[in-house]
Amino acid sequence: MSSKILIIGACGQIGSELTYKLREIHGNDNVIASDISYTNLEIVNSGIFEIVDAQDYSSIHICVEKHKIDTIYLMAAMLSATGEKYPMKAWDLNMSSLFNVLNLAKAKFISKVFWPSSIAVFGPTTPKEQTSQHTIMEPTTVYGITKQVGERWCEYYFDKYGVDVRSIRYPGIVSWKTMPGGGTTDYAVEIYHKAITDGKYESFLSEDTELPMMFMDDAITATIQIMDAPANQLSIRSSYNLAAMSFTPKDIAGEIQKHIRDFIITYNPDFRQQIADSWPKSIDDSYARKDWNWNHQFDLEKMTNEMILQLKKKYAPAEN
């Protein structure tokens, strides 16, 4: 029998692309997209869509029963920058949604869970270069705190209740289909859009702020790979470090200038600078590479080629 999948937070940056990919693999009828509102009409109209409130256990439970779901990808979350503006809302959303899904798995209504963690689990006291899987973790953002605590709970539910929950610490994700919202790494998406539409961009991070990043295609591949891996190959049940590339706003601007020679970048760091400064510059993801054969495909040059190509098409005036 084919797996029946529910994606919670399917209208968001990663949730939307995960929905398209999983539908390609499992068929449209086996992948149910859901979100709290109809914010992404392309997703809403692309297959089965349900309104689900991730903070309401019964809202998820009803959907699980209705569609005989066995696997949930919980992609709803408040990210780092918005989380600093609404600390209690971020805590409530990020934690209650995780508990709801873990408890559905504990009660055996579903059998498998994907929950994303983040490089935000690390903090200013973490070694910055090639940050290892097991190291000092003292996050200073509400988002990072929710992800770190969430990781502990995932491992706890696996150890104590046998819940098959799998997780990745995503770096900043760059993509062209759906805009990210409320993150510190969002500049690396905005910059490409502004390069095409305005020929210039004002970065909210300083020129030499180096962060771990990944192209969406790689992030989706990794997510599907970890979910498909045999359970006995997974040695980490908190969350796996995952890496592809690291770059600064200056590096990305230089790469864009190879395509758009007159592109201008200026720098005007805001409160997000402090968040970025608390995170690692690069990540050691050897556990993911060893346990489930993780291997990234996109570096900064290849990603930039693809972003410029796709966004030029997206913003091209419609021909009639």
Given the rule CB under 6 A, which residues bind ligand AKB? 79-80, 118-120, 143, 170, 172, 183-185
Question: What is the β-pairing status of strands 112-114 and 71-74?
Answer: parallel
Compare residues 102 and 275 and give the one whose CB is closer to ligand AKB. 275
Compare residues 120 and 236 and give the one whose CB is closer to ligand AKB. 120
Q: Catalytic site residue 38? A: no
Compare residues 31 and 252 and give the one whose CB is closer to ligand AKB. 252
CB of 78 to ligand AKB, least distance (A): 9
CB of 108 to ligand AKB, least distance (A): 30
CB of 256 to ligand AKB, least distance (A): 20
CB of 144 to ligand AKB, least distance (A): 8
CB of 83 to ligand AKB, least distance (A): 8
Compare residues 114 and 143 and give the one whose CB is closer to ligand AKB. 143
Compare residues 30 and 146 and give the one whose CB is closer to ligand AKB. 146
The residue sitting closest to ligand AKB, measured at its beta carbon, is 183
Q: Which of 73, 143, 192, 201 is catalytic?
A: 143
Which residues are marked as active site?
Answer: 143
